[in-house]
Structure 1
Amino acid sequence: MNCPICGDETLPEMRPFCSKRCADRDLARWFNGRYAVPSSDPEDIDALEEALDAAAQAQERQDKPH
């Protein structure tokens, strides 16, 4: 099995990578947005944010003393 970052042979303890350096490079690519999971419905995030905001406001109203 070859490392997906550099192509070198992998080490069993680092699979699928050959080293910690390549594993860290891969993780950095995820963090920087180079890798992304495509969404077929990007509006979902807006609906989620609205639902979370509404739930937080409802919780705040419940937590206030009457």
Structure 2
Amino acid sequence: MSLINTKIKPFKNQAFKNGEFIEVTEKDTEGRWSVFFFYPLTSLSYARLNWVTLLTTTKSCRSWA
């Protein structure tokens, strides 16, 4: 679902940037165009671990992570 030109609600979450997890809030996006992509589409605790494992073990992912 696309929500172009929509103002986001306040949030606080973790993001993976430059090989480490950082905290991101809606304040970090103020004054900029932003694209949010949420993956995986599950709240299961192992899903995050699987994504981190993929990023750290897959060569093709390391170049953009």
TM-score over 0.5 for the pair: no
Structure with bigger RCO (C-alpha 8 Å, 6+ apart)? 2
Question: Quick check: which has more Rg, 1 or 2?
Answer: 1
More strand by percentage: 2
**Structure ranking higher in helix proportion:** 1
